[in-house]
Amino acid sequence: SQQGEEDPQALSIQEGENATMNCSYKTSINNLQWYRQNSGRGLVHLILIRSNEREKHSGRLRVTLDTSKKSSSLLITASRAADTASYFCATDEEDSWGKLQFGAGTQVVVTP
């Protein structure tokens, strides 16, 4: 079963603009992770936020976590054409022993 649900399903923006995508989940978690996937490739880990953290930054990425609303957001600032990819959130549920539940992803297209 898939726990994370991303919104929107697709996003088209121009270079320099910010991209925001959201993820909702259903159960208690140890952490929530965001991954990027370029077409036909494996996933690349972007950022992990633990259940006791509310915000985390990594370069042009900003992730927030609201455990009371069971939701997270990923913000990519000053987007570049190279940011074109699918972005997935994945939840590490409590007592799941490392099993991640992935959402269906947000497909982001950044045009020059």
Partner 1 sequence: DGGITQSPKYLFRKEGQNVTLSCEQNLNHDAMYWYRQDPGQGLRLIYYSQIVNDFQKGDIAEGYSVSREKKESFPLTVTSAQKNPTAFYLCASSSVAGVSSYNEQFFGPGTRLTVL
Contact (Cβ atoms closer than 8 angstroms) between residue 101 and residue 23: no
CA gap 112, 93 in Å, rounded: 38
Contact (Cβ atoms closer than 8 angstroms) between residue 46 and residue 38: no
With CB under 8 A as the contact rule, the residue among 20, 30, 64, 77 that binds partner 1 is 30
With CB under 8 A as the contact rule, the residue among 21, 25, 33, 65 that binds partner 1 is 33
Single-letter residue type at 62? R
Give the DSSP H or E segment for 92: strand 85-93
With CB under 8 A as the contact rule, the residue among 12, 27, 45, 80 that binds partner 1 is 45
Q: Is 38 in the site for partner 1 (CB under 8 A)?
A: no
Q: Is 59 in the site for partner 1 (CB under 8 A)?
A: no
- What's the farthest any 2 CA atoms get from each other in the chain? 44
With CB under 8 A as the contact rule, the residue among 21, 25, 91, 105 that binds partner 1 is 105
Q: Is 112 in the site for partner 1 (CB under 8 A)?
A: no
Q: Is 48 in the site for partner 1 (CB under 8 A)?
A: yes
Q: How far apart are the first and last CA of the chain?
A: 37
Tokens read off for 34: 């965001």
- Residue placing its CB nearer to partner 1 in the complex, 31 or 73: 31
Q: Which residues bind partner 1 (CB under 8 A)?
A: 1-2, 4, 30-31, 33, 35, 40-45, 48, 88, 90, 92, 94-100, 102-105
